[in-house]
Structure 1
């Protein structure tokens, strides 16, 4: 069974890769490994060595610390739901729908983006 830290790092790897619109194959080519290894890293099935994580971080243009961000003691034990301080659980940021929404949001010009954010907040307040 994969360790919770490996699952978290794999989730962050997939999240960043998807946000960049990068395929597993493209990342694997940049790192010098087969895409199947990227799949295993993302699922937490295989651990990422420190040197490999450093190369992956450079390829994804993030610091190594990025892969550990958002990891609290509670999240190490359980990777579901919302944290007490209202933070979004890591798996939410991996969903295709979330990534599509983020991409669409940042493709808007500034004024429509502000209006869209206001609308989303209003809808969330009325749903609560």
Structure 2
């Protein structure tokens, strides 16, 4: 079961790894030990609002970054604590690495990579983010 705490922790980890920041360095910048960062990332410990704000500043994102794509669980699942995470793929190391590489590309290369990946998917069930929601 994935709770919002777990999903937020995974987002913290994904962003930290994408930026090449160690748990110790993140901990130092927000005033906690690396073990506490581990607990945040695993969802074992909840992150307070003020601490999440500090983490967002340290990782150079808006605090809303950690909640983007989280949707309530479906009504028929009966489990209100298990949110749907549209960005759950960020748990995969390869996905984080790919995003990190993508961010470093020139705009023209980004467009070329995106066009190439779209040709690979040819599956109508893949949602394009530039289409109306």
Taking structure 1 as the reference length, the TM-score comes to 0.77
Structure 1 pair 54–106 and aligned structure 2 pair: CA distance change class (3 A): closer
Of residues 73, 90, 113 in structure 1, which corresponds to 2:87?
Answer: 90
Counterpart for residue 38 of structure 1: 37
Give aligned pairs, total. 119
Q: Deviations for 1:78-117, whole angstroms, at most 9, x for unmatched residues?
A: 446xxxxxxxx32202311012112222333333332222
Q: Give how far 1:127 is off.
A: 9.7
CA distance in structure 2 between the aligned counterparts of 1:51 and 1:110, rounded to whole angstroms: 35
Q: Deviations for 1:7-54, whole angstroms, at most 9, x for unmatched residues?
A: 121122112212212111110110111101101001100111222222
Structure 2 runs not aligned, ≥5 long: 75-80, 126-133
| Structure 1, 39-48 or 92-101: larger mean CA deviation | 92-101
- Structural RMSD (CA): 2.5
